């Protein structure tokens, strides 16, 4: 049969149906194409051969030439292990296998020269090597090989079934032989000469069989650039298509509602950043395209007022608006805040959540459909089929990473034409990630805090300083302030967390006795009504201290609360710590965040705590978080799939990413349809990529 890159992996020499099945399940390798795009994790220098009497005692990877002189089986607690005696002209060592003994014993030849490779252990005056990579010296001399030995991604199951790194290398060699190393070029001549990129064929060869470190780095650069370039191209084209194909409602009027609010009811002066963002939104909604904008701003930067003023533009043009939030607490808070400013403007606004009574629901549904209701605030309840608008012009989604893509698209279909979409987040998204994951959205950033806000002072204290911390709390309460004390909640250990919380609560009750002090407690095991009752007591100032798990992370606004104590702060992620800190510092007084930990801290925990103490800048914090956790964790499972990268790393390859986005934009600006002769290669590759949804499988 003729071979091409879409040939199923089963047909590759040495693979066969059983191994093919394993490769599919364990590494997602279905075709020759998938195998060629399995890039090595790292490389090992295989130019050096050791003698047994020269081996270093440091568990390093080494390569030795010698012969097997005999085997024995040794009983151990579970089953047996197979031990072979291996020697060269300077000494003797042992090779050990804990599984697959029979298979190994039948395959290996005695008194025949082998090259062995692996990590050594020094025990009882002798070296041993568990599960070595083994190759007959005669074959070793003939193979396609390079000084830098590639180490491929693997899984425990693959190693157990005998698909070692050496076996993967032989598959790769077979693939290059069967295809003659003929790989179609995917980047235009112009781009390659401008960036001095090596050819696709050279890059693939040198990434799997590097002839030198220099060629390896050229190969990696070329493949990383290509991967990021096509992702950016896709996002930029998607944004362009969106703007030209998806017609939006044109909001030409900025009228009575907007102007009256701006002139007579605006509670404070807008910051320069807020004005800039409102301008960007106005221009989007006034163009003929549907707005698709992401609004980022730190906790307390005033996103809600920007969102409200955008709603007023929709109302001025005879349309309705809605705002969807991820939790009931947050949607109630948005509703209460907006109700106050809607009343003087005679705007009708309602709240729809899971706990809205049936009679109220019916009334809301009717008023929405006949257009009496201007603004609807709510949770996922807005997505129910029963909720139909007369003419929804603007949909705002708060903390959108908590909603799946399918849920967002439901909002689109509430109308004949899709409404304008504004997505808000207080979780700053690092620029690198924003470019990759939200590259098809337009992005606005509110990067200054309202005047009169003081930055929160953050300190790190150990458990032994607890008495001083309690004294500080008493002093703040004397000044009339309120305090949060937050305990971590980690699902797997809910019982232990509950105990921590209750122990903490008991000790706080001892140190802050009634009637002088009043304490609220809020945690996940409480009924919603009880939670709400406790929250309200704190909001009204009837209690001085709120002891809570992270349910207060999003959306509790108590300007009088000036101290946030985070217990076991090492158990929280950076973005969570930053969100929690954002609960204080909402009034004009100086606020404080105290991170309490034990003395035992991992390196990552130290970095997180130092970052929190050093800066209040959410974007700075997000960059550190991205370095520590990687993109998948930050995006959550729904979206991390977008970044299923094969060779590039958006953190380490940030500069390549910027360059890829720059060139993708430049090419699309000059030639939007990629119709010019010099862009034919790019167009062909792009079409193939979009045809096969799993973008990277088809990029050779």
Q: pLDDT digit string (tens) for 601-652?
A: 998 999 999 999 999 888 888 888 887 876 655 444 344 444 567 888 877 7
**Could you report the per-residue pLDDT of 405-422, keeping only the tens digit for each?**
566 667 767 777 789 999
CATH no. of 256-446: 3.40.50.300
What would be the CATH architecture of the domain defined by 457-615?
Answer: 3-Layer(aba) Sandwich (3.40)
- Dmax (CA) for the chain in angstroms is 96
Residue with tokens 């950043």: 273
* Cβ-contact 435, 661 below 8 angstroms: yes
CATH 2.40.50.140: which residues of the chain?
Answer: 51-140
Supply the pTM of this predicted model. 0.67
CATH no. of 51-140: 2.40.50.140
- Beta strands 114-119 and 61-75, pairing class: antiparallel
**Could you report the per-residue pLDDT of 373-386, keeping only the tens digit for each?**
999 999 988 888 88
Strands (E), 30-79: 42-45, 61-75
**Could you report the per-residue pLDDT of 276-294, keeping only the tens digit for each?**
999 999 999 998 888 989 8
**Could you report the per-residue pLDDT of 56-81, keeping only the tens digit for each?**
887 778 899 999 999 999 888 888 89
> 493: pLDDT confidence band, cut at 50, 70 and 90?
low
d(CA 77, CA 74): 10
CATH 3.40.50.300: which residues of the chain?
Answer: 256-446, 457-615
Those residues whose C-beta lies under 8 Å from the C-beta of residue 224, and which sit 6 or more positions away, are 647, 648, 653, 656
**Could you report the per-residue pLDDT of 349-372, keeping only the tens digit for each?**
999 998 899 999 999 999 999 999
């Amino acid at each position: 049969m003729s071979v091409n890159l879409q040939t199923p992996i089963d047909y590759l020499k040495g693979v066969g149906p059983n191994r093919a099945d394993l490769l599919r399940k364990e590494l997602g390798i279905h075709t020759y194409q998938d195998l060629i795009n399995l890039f090595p994790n790292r490389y090992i220098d295989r130019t050096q051969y050791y003698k047994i009497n020269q081996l270093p005692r440091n568990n390093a990877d080494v390569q030795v030439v010698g012969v097997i002189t005999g085997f024995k089986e040794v009983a151990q607690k579970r089953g047996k292990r197979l031990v072979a005696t291996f020697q060269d002209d300077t000494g003797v060592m042992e090779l050990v296998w804990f599984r697959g003994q029979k298979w190994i014993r039948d395959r290996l030849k005695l008194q025949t020269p082998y090259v062995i490779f692996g990590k050594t252990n020094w025990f009882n005056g002798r070296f041993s090597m568990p599960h070595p990579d083994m190759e007959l010296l005669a074959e070793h001399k003939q193979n396609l090989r390079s000084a830098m030995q590639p180490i491929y991604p693997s899984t425990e199951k693959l190693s157990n079934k005998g698909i070692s790194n050496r076996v993967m290398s032989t598959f790769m060699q077979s693939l290059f032989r069967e295809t003659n190393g003929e790989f179609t070029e995917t980047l235009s001549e112009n781009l390659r000469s401008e960036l001095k990129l090596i050819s696709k064929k050279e890059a693939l060869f040198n990434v799997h069989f590097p002839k030198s470190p220099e060629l390896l780095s050229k190969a990696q650069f070329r493949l990383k650039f290509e991967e990021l370039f096509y992702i950016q191209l896709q996002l930029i084209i998607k944004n362009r298509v969106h703007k030209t194909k998806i017609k939006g409602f044109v909001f030409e009027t900025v009228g009575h509602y907007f102007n009256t609010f701006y002139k007579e009811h605006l509670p404070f002066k807008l910051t320069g950043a807020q004005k800039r963002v409102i301008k960007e939104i106005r221009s989007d909604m006034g163009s003929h395209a549907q707005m698709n904008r992401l609004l980022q701003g730190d906790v307390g930067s005033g996103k809600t007022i920007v969102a409200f003023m955008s709603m007023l533009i929709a109302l001025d043009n005879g349309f309705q608006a809605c705002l969807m939030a991820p939790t009931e607490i947050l949607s109630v808070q948005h509703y209460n805040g907006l109700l106050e400013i809607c009343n003087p403007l005679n705007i009708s606004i309602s709240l729809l959540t899971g706990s809205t009574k049936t009679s109220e629901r019916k009334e809301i549904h009717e008023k929405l459909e006949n257009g009496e209701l201007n603004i609807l605030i709510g949770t996922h309840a807005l997505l129910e089929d029963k909720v139909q608008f007369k003419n929804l012009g603007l949909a705002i989604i708060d903390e959108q990473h908590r909603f799946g893509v399918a849920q967002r698209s439901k909002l689109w279909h509430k109308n004949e034409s899709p409404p304008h979409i504004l997505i808000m987040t207080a979780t700053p998204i690092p620029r690198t990630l924003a470019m990759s994951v939200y590259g098809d959205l337009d992005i606005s950033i509110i990067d200054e805090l309202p005047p009169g806000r003081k930055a929160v002072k953050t300190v790190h204290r150990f458990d032994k300083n607890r008495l001083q911390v309690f004294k500080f709390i008493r002093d703040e309460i004397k000044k009339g302030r309120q305090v949060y004390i937050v305990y971590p909640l980690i699902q797997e250990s809910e019982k232990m967390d509950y105990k921590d919380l209750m122990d903490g609560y008991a000790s706080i009750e001892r140190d802050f006795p009634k009637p002088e002090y009043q304490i609220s407690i809020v945690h996940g095991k409480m009924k919603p009504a009880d939670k709400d009752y406790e929250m309200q007591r704190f909001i009204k100032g009837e209690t001085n201290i709120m002891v809570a798990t992270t349910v207060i992370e999003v959306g509790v606004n108590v300007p009088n609360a000036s101290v946030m104590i985070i217990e076991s702060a090492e158990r929280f992620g950076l973005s969570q710590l930053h969100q929690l800190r954002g609960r204080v510092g909402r009034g004009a007084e100086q606020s404080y965040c105290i991170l309490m930990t034990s003395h035992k801290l991992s390196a990552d925990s130290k970095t997180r705590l130092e970052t929190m103490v050093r800066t209040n800048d959410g974007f700075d914090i997000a960059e550190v978080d991205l370095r520590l956790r990687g993109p998948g964790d930050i995006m959550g499972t729904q979206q991390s799939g977008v970044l299923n990268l094969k060779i590039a790393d958006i953190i380490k390859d940030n500069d390549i990413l910027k360059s890829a986005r720059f060139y993708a934009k430049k090419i699309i600006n000059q030639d939007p349809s990629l119709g010019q002769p010099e862009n034919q290669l790019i167009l062909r590759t792009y079409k193939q990529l979009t045809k096969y949804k799993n973008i990277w499988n088809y990029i050779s």
